[in-house]
């Protein structure tokens, strides 16, 4: 089974000053399943990497993707409809589209594991395919 990557996991691995850097590096070394990132997360990550580390960090990410180490997954129309539903169910928490699409994509693909450090925004959602997503590391 595959693991979906949240932007926070990749940013933590890339940024040596991040409090979760060592944990992220150790987790990526242990991860032995295919890694995937949603296209919306990729766009969000570009913004974060360039703000925190500069353009070289984005180039490194693109090289990693080009090598096949991480697969980019585009959202489908069904994912976007489901994301809207998830967001409506949790409006009091001011949900983010990126997180809702990640959960919807996990449902569609049957993915149960998500690499993430910024857990509160995604923990508000209840996926259909499992009781809760396994948030790692």
The residues, ordered by sequence, that sit 6+ positions from 9 with a Cβ below 8 Å of its Cβ are 24, 27, 28, 115, 116, 117, 137
pLDDT reading at 51 higher than 90: yes
Averaged pLDDT, 59-75? 97
In the chain, the number of structural domains is: 1
The model's pLDDT over 80-122, given as tens digits with 9 standing for 90+, comes to 999 999 999 999 999 999 999 999 999 999 999 999 999 988 9
| pTM of the predicted protein model | 0.92
Per DSSP, helices labelled H in 15-76 are: 21-30, 39-52, 55-66
Please classify residue 135 by burial: count the beta carbons closer than 10 Å to its beta carbon, then call 0-12 exposed, 13-18 middle and 19+ buried. middle
State in Å, rounded, how far the first CA of the chain is from the last one.
16
% of the chain beyond a pLDDT of 70: 100
Radius of gyration of the chain (CA): 14
pLDDT reading at 6 higher than 90: yes
CB 79 within 8 A of CB 102: no
Q: What is the predicted pLDDT for the residue at 120?
A: 86
Q: What is the predicted pLDDT for the residue at 121?
A: 86
Q: What is the predicted pLDDT for the residue at 130?
A: 93
Q: What is the predicted pLDDT for the residue at 1?
A: 86
Range of the domain at 43: 3-136
List the CATH number of the domain containing 103: 3.40.50.1010
**Phi then psi for 135, rounded to 5 degrees?**
-90, 120
């Amino acid at each position: 089974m595959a693991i979906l990557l949240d932007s926070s996991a990749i940013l933590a691995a890339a940024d040596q000053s991040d409090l979760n850097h060592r944990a992220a590096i150790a987790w990526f070394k242990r991860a032995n399943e295919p890694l995937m990132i949603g296209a919306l997360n990729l766009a969000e990550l570009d913004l974060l990497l360039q703000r925190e580390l500069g353009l070289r960090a984005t180039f490194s990410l693109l090289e990693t993707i080009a090598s096949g180490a991480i697969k980019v997954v585009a959202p489908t129309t069904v994912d976007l409809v489901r994301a809207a539903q998830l967001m409506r169910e949790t409006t009091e928490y001011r949900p983010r589209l990126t997180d809702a699409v990640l959960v919807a994509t996990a449902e569609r693909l049957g993915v149960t594991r998500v690499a993430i450090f910024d857990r509160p925004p995604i923990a508000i959602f209840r996926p259909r395919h499992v009781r809760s997503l396994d948030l790692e590391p």
